[in-house]
Amino acid sequence: MPKLTKVFGAIFCVLGTIYLTVSIFLYRNSSAALDYNKGKLETFSQAGVFYFFVVAVLILGFGILLAKDKVIKKDHH
């Protein structure tokens, strides 16, 4: 029977990668990276992508942690 932690880890890795790609795309197309107004550039958090980026990194990290599945086998025979 396959380990369910690896399955959930793979799902979280895929979702985290998609969220991270979307958040980077949103940041690169926001006024934090583009010069809409020459004198008024927004910061990373003012553009509204900071929390989305943090959640994406947390989901990806949690997925990697679950996908590794470091279980110590207690077989003493």
Q: Quote the radius of gyration of the chain (alpha carbons, Å).
A: 19
Q: What is the pLDDT of residue 56?
A: 94
Which string of DSSP letters, residue by residue, matches 9-25? HHHHHHHHHHHHHHHHH
Among candidates 58, 49, 68, which has minimal Cα distance to 16? 58
Give the pLDDT confidence of 4-55 residue by residue, as tens digits.
888 888 999 999 999 999 998 988 888 777 777 666 777 778 878 889 999 9
Q: For the whole model, what pTM was predicted?
A: 0.75
SS3 58: helix
Q: What is the pLDDT of residue 11?
A: 93
Q: Give the Å distances, CA to CA, from 6 to 19, 59, 73, 74.
A: 20, 14, 16, 20
